[in-house]
Amino acid sequence: MHKILMVCLGNICRSPLAEGILKSKVNSDSVFVDSAGTAAYHIGKLPDERSIEVANKYGIDITKQRARKFVVKDFDEFDIIFAMDDSNYQNILSLVRNNDDEQKVRMILNEIHPAKNLSVPDPYYGGNQGFENVYKMLDEACDVIASNLS
Ligand code: 4NP
């Protein structure tokens, strides 16, 4: 079983989309996908309405998801931890206990733009276009992730 964790700040905009998109591209018998946020602001909440809408537009239901906070134990549970942006990446790295933990953490857009360390822009304070843009980036990245897992 591959275990993949998607991480952003609030776990309501970007990482729920990344979770939903990757789940739609892999077999759930062999790949477990989850998401979390580095901040506690939105624990227990549904994804942002704008993420729900853009996912829905592409046939993906993310309304079963509830926000949770990233915890150190996630380093034990998951094989790969994808950060959406630079600040998520630094926040996760600040919690690593050893080299094994550190090796699990990656920037998700490096899947499509290797070693560039590009960030998925935080769409929270923008309009719907930001969510569409985020969706497209994550869809491309998840295509690569899914093909590398199969
Ligand atoms: P996310 O977006 O990290 O993609 O879930 C955000 C959600 C909430 C906040 C910031 C970013 N916030 O400041 O509450």
Tell which atom from ligand 1 comes closest to the C-alpha of 8: 3
Place of tokens 């094989």: 79
Alpha helices in the chain (DSSP H): 14-25, 49-57, 74-77, 86-93, 99-103, 128-149
The 10s digit of each residue's pLDDT in 41-68 is: 999 999 999 999 999 999 999 999 999 9
- Tokens for 21? 């998109």
Ligand 1 centre to CA of 1 (Å) is 30
* Length reported for the chain: 150
Are the beta carbons of 109 and 80 closer than 8 angstroms? no
Tell whether ligand 1 has an atom less than 6 A from the beta carbon of residue 137: no
Query: Does ligand 1 come within 6 angstroms of the Cβ of 12?
Result: yes
From CA 66, how far away is CA 140, in angstroms rounded? 24
Catalytic residues: 8, 14, 122
The per-residue pLDDT for range 81-118, each reduced to its tens digit, is: 999 999 999 999 999 999 999 999 999 999 999 999 99
